[in-house]
Amino acid sequence: MTKRPRKSPAPASPGFAEGTGQPPLADDDLPKITLPPYTPRTTPPPVRSKIGPGGRVVIPAAFREALGMGEGADVMISVDGHKITFVTPRAAAMAAREAISRLVPPGVSLVDELLADRRAEVEAEERDERERQERERQERERQECERQERERQARGVAARRNG
């Protein structure tokens, strides 16, 4: 199999957008593109492939196109029983969301529950801190009372000696 030489891009003129002869666009001038939600394209039929050197497998173009994957696209690879599965990160995230949503009863917000749990934890931490500070204050008062009592006793002993 021979490789075709790649065409090198035409050199851009200084201050001009590549190959257009026009000045480059500022970010504000660029069109805003909103992509529709991803939906898998038609599923190609199964094909036979071989494992190449270093364990490499070529994913046929029809498969890549069906998933909207280009060169350099990230994939997640897993073993499922006797199958190796390639999944786009987006598809894996959607599957995870669907699995979690089946476990959550309708009308329950996991975000609200998480926030409520965190607020309760913060309140408990603040209460524990106030209780710790109160114990420390009481300990300081006890120690001060003991110090004052020792001083009174020492003055009484000294007064009896001098008396």
pLDDT value at position 17? Answer: 47
| pLDDT tens, residue order, the chain (163 aa) | 555 555 554 444 444 445 555 555 555 555 555 555 555 567 788 888 888 999 888 888 888 888 888 888 888 888 988 888 888 888 889 888 888 888 888 888 889 999 999 999 999 999 999 999 999 999 999 999 999 999 999 888 888 887 6
Structure tokens at 117: 């749990």
DSSP 47-93: ------GGG--PPPHHHHHHHT--TT---EEEEETTEEEEE-HHHHH
Yes or no: say if 69 and 75 are a contact pair by the CB < 8 Å rule.
Answer: yes
Report the C-alpha gap between 58 and 50 in whole angstroms: 8
